[in-house]
Amino acid sequence: MISIAAFWILSAVAVISALMVVSARNPVHSVLFLILTFFTTAGLFVLLGAEYLAMLLIVVYVGAVAVLFLFVVMMLDIDFVELKQGFMRYLPIGGLVALILFGMFIMVTSARIEAKIDPNMLASPTPDVSITSNAKAIGEILYTNYILFFQLAGLVLFVAMVGAIVLTLQHRQNVKRQSVTAQTARNRKTGVEIAKPKTGEGVSL
């Protein structure tokens, strides 16, 4: 009973806050609503018995991605009013695509109800929570059955790293850099020059 009530509350909040993400005027509010969406979705995961995924969602998406978004939104001077200008013009075609997609989703979801999955077919069935926790169950297959994909994911991150450096790193030529050796090697002779100006005349430096 409680779980049903929780489901309705969480999903209602998730849908409304997702709507607010795209419709809020202030981009900072958008990001905050995004965080709320992530939290409620994490709640839905808990209801499904996937507590590890719920934690992951909060740690990765709220902790890293959304905060990064917030920084970007605050640091970049993007004119969001201007970005939204084409909204009315693209609404008919965009709305049509959204409507068709929505119809398709309903078709697929209704097909899900009658579909039966053969339990013998399951790739790696989730063990009951009373036997092992989710995190342990994922860990047991991630580093054995799916070791290849674990390594490939490492390679994808490596490509992202190399790519980011290639596209952004600049070695500027005409920039003064701190040189600690030069600073500590400085002595009175090289650092100070005492001039004795005569009255009425300047000093040539």
117 forms part of the interface with other proteins (CB under 8 A) = yes
Contact (Cβ atoms closer than 8 angstroms) between residue 14 and residue 37: yes
CB of 103 to other proteins, least distance (A): 12
Contact (Cβ atoms closer than 8 angstroms) between residue 7 and residue 30: no
CB of 137 to other proteins, least distance (A): 15
175 forms part of the interface with other proteins (CB under 8 A) = no
80 forms part of the interface with other proteins (CB under 8 A) = no
104 forms part of the interface with other proteins (CB under 8 A) = yes
162 forms part of the interface with other proteins (CB under 8 A) = yes
158 forms part of the interface with other proteins (CB under 8 A) = yes
CB of 100 to other proteins, least distance (A): 13
**Rg of the chain (C-alpha set):** 30
Give the count of alpha carbons within 13 A of 193, CB side only.
6
Of 16 and 147, the one with the shorter C-beta distance to other proteins is 147
SS3 assignment, position 120: helix
Helices 67-75 and 27-47: crossing angle, nearest 10°? 170
How many whole angstroms separate alpha carbon 194 and alpha carbon 10? Answer: 77
Interface residues toward other proteins, by CB under 8 A: 104, 107-108, 111-112, 114-115, 117-119, 121-123, 144-149, 152-153, 155-156, 158-160, 162-163, 165-167
